């Protein structure tokens, strides 16, 4: 994109990436990835982010162990052909076997740290302008339902379990710095 955007009237220094739902997870992973440094200036996330405690992160070793367990389930156990064997399994069967809650592979060049570690240590692409939001009814299968107005208490309880070891006060100060206490619609 950076090499060709000028051909479409664009500016390589003003690239914005956007994602919704799983696409938003991908955009947030790019914000976290040192390999994406300098590739874009802005990011828009709608209804998804890697900073979500219900997504279990995996190391390469954990992912390989889980894949081998899946191989056993589908009787793909030969050390030389198990991966080829799994590729022949019907996608619906694999989907039924796996859990919906799959997180990113960490400890790699692409994502060396979990989202929580990266934010805590400031090791992410801090120069990227970011807008984050949600889409009405998006993720209702994955997120607890909140009925009625979102009060400060509801907001705090909703994020408390999703920020890992991060300091709740710092997170609230950052995200609520421009929100008036009586302006719950801004939450």
Decide if pLDDT at 72 tops 60. yes
pLDDT at site 182? 61
Whether 142 contacts 174, CB under 8 Å: no
The Cα 13–Cα 118 span in angstroms is 24
Sole residue written with tokens 């009237």: 9
Whether 120 contacts 170, CB under 8 Å: no
What is the per-residue DSSP string for the chain? Answer: -TTTGGGGT--TTS-EEEEETHHHHHHHHHHH-GGGTTS-SEEEEES--S--TTSPPB-HHHHHHHHHHHHHHTT---TTTHHHHHHTS-HHHHHHHS-S----B-SSSS--S-HHHHHHHT-S-TTSEEEEE--TTTTTTTS----S---HHHHHHHHHTTSTTS-HHHHHHHHTTT--TT-GGG-
The Cα 42–Cα 106 span in angstroms is 23
**Which has more confidence, 159 or 34?**
34
How is the chain split into domains, by residue range? Answer: 1-55+105-143, 60-97, 146-187
Q: What percent of the chain has pLDDT over 70?
A: 78
Decide if pLDDT at 38 tops 50. yes
Tens digits of residue pLDDT in 40-57: 999 999 987 776 655 667
**Which has more confidence, 135 or 81?**
81
Dihedral pair phi/psi, residue 94, rounded to 5°: -65, -40
pTM above 0.75, yes or no: no
pLDDT at site 94? 86
> Model confidence at 186, in pLDDT bands (50, 70, 90)?
very low
Tens digits of residue pLDDT in 85-104: 999 999 888 887 876 556 78
Tens digits of residue pLDDT in 124-142: 999 999 998 888 766 555 4
Residues in the chain: 187
pLDDT at site 187? 44
Q: What is the mean pLDDT of the chain?
A: 82
């Amino acid at each position: 994109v950076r090499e060709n955007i000028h051909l479409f009237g664009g500016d390589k220094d003003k690239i914005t990436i956007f994602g919704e739902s799983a696409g938003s997870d991908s955009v947030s992973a790019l914000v976290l990835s040192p390999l994406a440094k300098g590739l874009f200036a802005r990011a828009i996330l709608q209804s998804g982010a890697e900073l979500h405690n219900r997504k279990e992160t995996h190391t390469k070793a954990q992912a390989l162990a889980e894949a081998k367990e899946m191989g056993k389930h589908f009787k793909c156990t030969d050390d030389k052909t198990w991966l080829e064997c799994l590729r022949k399994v019907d996608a619906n069967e694999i989907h039924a076997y796996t859990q919906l809650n799959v997180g990113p592979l960490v400890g790699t060049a692409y994502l060396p740290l979990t989202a929580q570690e990266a934010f805590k240590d400031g090791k992410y692409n801090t120069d990227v302008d970011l807008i984050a939001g949600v889409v009405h009814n998006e993720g209702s299968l994955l997120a607890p339902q909140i009925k009625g107005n979102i009060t400060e208490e509801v907001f705090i309880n909703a994020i408390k379990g999703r920020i890992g070891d991060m300091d709740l006060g710092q997170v609230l100060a950052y995200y609520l710095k421009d929100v008036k206490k009586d302006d719950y619609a801004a939450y």
